[in-house]
Amino acid sequence: MANQGRRTFLKLSGGVLGGVLAGSTVTAAERTDRFIVKTRGNGAPSDLDVVFDLPEIGYAVVRGSESAVEASSAVTSYAPDVELDGADPSVETHDYEGEATDDALYPFQWDKQALDVPTAHETTKGEGTRVAVIDSGVDASHPDLEVNTAVSKNLTGDGLGAGVPGGGDHGTHVAGTVAAQTTGETGVAGTAPATDLVDYRVFSNFGGVSGAFSIVIGAVVQAARDDCDVANLSLGAYPIPRQGVTEGFYGNFINAAMTYANKEGTLLVISAGNDSADLQHDGSLISLPNEGAQALSVAATGPIGFGWGDDGVTAPPESPAFYTNYGTNAVDLAAPGGDADLAAAAEEVPGWYYDLVLSTVSVVTDIGEDGTVATEPGYGWKAGTSMAAPNVAGAAALVKSANPDYNANQVESALKRAAAVPEGYDKAYYGAGFLNVVDAL
């Protein structure tokens, strides 16, 4: 049988296999001991060491030599899995420096104010729904988060478990944007605080941020298996050559998983990326997975000057962020993800970071000699399409809660119908428009 990955790997290594946390710097290396295989029939190959089986889509991930994979009668085609190593993908970050547990932080959450989340909460807070965060992990010890650790899974194989230890800063920020609790008078508020939050950890924080391509795609299938109504993927890669990918082995693997999730009722909300790229007019290039099958692709908006005092707001919250990818047919919605005046940041203008998105974080307190990371819960600002997607994921949970009979396509349609392109702005940055949570309910 043919190894379907050899001809496309070098192209992929800077694309679908790089930048996998949206906007990050990532390197990729072909695995020689692990392979993604297309199976003959619906079962995993019994003659190979199966890492995990995906019979719903006819694939499996196996460990062993290429000669063993080549010789297996249960395998019709295969490609090497790919190891990913990267850094935090946020465009800008800033940690909260006060005693956060004693402060009410909603006044700093311009994103929730722009979406009028409190009014939406008069209808629902997401009761009866489940949202997956497919990311670097969620700090389950954070006082603002209630994580379903019984369902949550660490798919990296690093042995650190789901939640603490190993709760990732990026994933914790995303989780708070979706579902931070609003039961008290302190901390931050999430868009859907009553949803059942599930952590699917696909990147290990052991000695850095790393993971495998197959794990990310496997997590999409697992989220559908676990009856998640929404899965947030604040990750992706660009640029990727279309040739040999969209119709090749890796592209088929991605689309099979995404189509399965949609069929099972899981809406996939995915960040559009932070490359300032026109995805509509990029010729032979593609951004994945946000341009994959059944994806709801989210661009980012943000203010300039929020909370700066006398200087005032020079750009409203619905303005496109300077870094966001765009493209009429490549972006479905735009939502608050944060913006930044880079000159103000460089000059350390007081409050410049208020234009980023404030949420829960997992603050690194120590890094051991063996690479293990010690963390404690906190709050911080980040900007990126990684921060925009979870605002949409939370809104999708609210729509599903208010309309429990809706399937994934109907939830997406409700969000798009309620959205509108702000007057005077280019539709290419918005798709259907700027997220309108209240009107979607």
- Select which of 81, 111, 135, 144 is catalytic: 135
* φ, ψ dihedrals at 153, nearest 5°: -140, 140
- Select which of 152, 214, 386, 401 is catalytic: 386
- Whether 386 is catalytic is yes
CB neighbour list of residue 433: distance below 8 Å, 6 or more residues apart: 333, 334, 416, 419, 420, 421, 422
- Select which of 24, 170, 199, 271 is catalytic: 170
Q: For tokens 């989220």, what's the residue? A: 223
What amino acid positions are annotated as catalytic residues? 135, 170, 386
